[in-house]
Amino acid sequence: QKEVEQNSGPLSVPEGAIASLNCTYSDRGSQSFFWYRQYSGKSPELIMFIYSNGDKEDGRFTAQLNKASQYVSLLIRDSQPSDSATYLCAVKTERNNRLAFGKGNQVVVIP
Amino acid sequence: GAVVSQHPSWVICKSGTSVKIECRSLDFQATTMFWYRQFPKQSLMLMATSNEGSKATYEQGVEKDKFLINHASLTLSTLTVTSAHPEDSSFYICSAKERERLSWTQYFGPGTRLLVL
């Protein structure tokens, strides 16, 4: 079982809609969770982190964490064409001294 | 704050030569830096974890004699690709974990594109 899984294929959303991304993780002891955005040809940039169960909002982004179900999600409200990118879920596992990354979900916002 | 730089941003070299890539944390001290490689349309692949003042920890399948890592200070880590070959052409990205924070937030550098001819 992979440490972090992002299984959805490319997500196309119309401009102004909500984009929803999901991520599951295998290490139940994980405590820290991150979402990074990576534009094509660029390196990842941190957009959100969350440590506690529940929702955390930052502008148009909301991260949701459910430790019991071992998933973390990212909502992008009022999606803009500039949100078109690959979104990487990352988890600090207890087993290793590093972040484990999912393979990413591509989001395409259609004007 | 939390800015990480990389130099060079891109490099083209002949097969057999060595290439050094620098990763610097500009406004914070980083006890740990990470080196990743990313091929086109693929996910990040962790190559090694670099701790200041100690030997790097390499991921399985990464040749430590080919990818030399030095983390001599709290703000600088270097990756040297020795005897580079065309298959080493990739996007190399470093990230740094801030020393003063207990969290595991990693900040990425802008990456270095390596093309080996």
Residues across chain B: 117
Q: Rounded to a whole number, what is the distance in Å from the CA of B65 to chain A's nearest CA? A: 22
Size of interface A-B (CB pairs under 8 A): 43
Q: Which chain A residues touch B49 with a CB distance below 8 Å? A: 97-98
Q: Which of A23, A43, A45 to mutate to test the interface with B (most CBs of B within 10 A)?
A: A43
> How confident is the model over A68-109, as pLDDT tens digits?
999 999 999 999 999 999 999 999 887 777 889 999 999 999
Which one of A43, A51, A103 has the shortest CB-CB distance to B108? A43
**Contact criterion met (CB below 8 Å) for A58 and A74:** no
**Contact criterion met (CB below 8 Å) for B113 and B12:** no
> Chain centroid to CA B80: how far?
9
Three-state DSSP at B86 gives helix
> How confident is the model over A13-36, as pLDDT tens digits?
999 999 999 999 999 988 899 999
Q: Rounded to a whole number, what is the distance in Å from the CA of B109 to chain A's nearest CA? A: 7
* Regions of chain B where pLDDT drops below 50: none
Task: Count Cα neighbours of B95 within 13 Å in the Cβ-side half-sphere.
Answer: 23
